[in-house]
Amino acid sequence: MSTPPAALRMVEVSGAEALWLVEGSALGRLVYAQRDQTVVRPGRHTWEYGRLVVRTPAPAAAVPATATYQVDEVRAATGTGWSVTLAGPAEVITDPDVAAHYRRTLTGWSHGPHDTLLRIHPKTVNGFRLARAEA
């Protein structure tokens, strides 16, 4: 006999809790449009001074003025966890000293022209907890 799957629900979290979840994580995804297609690039991030600093293997010229970054932690076996999306103005870090600091602290996937460091100033933060429905 098999048991029926558990009912799941999404619960919206406050902006402060969503930022706390992002701060406790290190991996995410930068999402942007390029040539009428959606591009998703992995990213490592850190939260500093109210801004998200992201290292991603994307060309600096392709990073839009307003960036979207997604972070989540979902346990596949249970379908529980959380998901947060941040969006806001983004700037590529060009200062060589600042870039060197973040290259030392954030490990990347590639080095060269497609190894980009950027700061995102989140204007919108949406977060959800994925939980089991109460019986």
Domain count within the chain? 1
Examine residue 107 and state whether it is found in any structural domain, yes or no. Answer: yes
Q: Per-residue confidence of the chain (135 residues) as pLDDT tens digits?
A: 555 566 788 899 998 999 999 999 989 999 998 888 999 999 999 998 889 999 999 888 888 889 999 999 998 888 889 999 999 999 999 999 999 999 999 887 766 667 899 999 999 999 999 888 775
Residue 39 lies in a domain: yes
Report if residue 133 sits inside a domain.
no
Q: Is residue 63 part of a domain?
A: yes
Concatenate the DSSP letters of all residues of 29-80 into one string: EEEEEETTEEEEEEEEEEEETTEEEEEESS-GGGS-SEEEEEEEEEETTTTE
Tell whether 1 is covered by a domain. Answer: no
pLDDT value at residue 133: 76
Domain containing 60: what range?
8-125
The answer to whether residue 37 sits within a structural domain is yes
CATH number for the domain including 41? 2.30.110.10
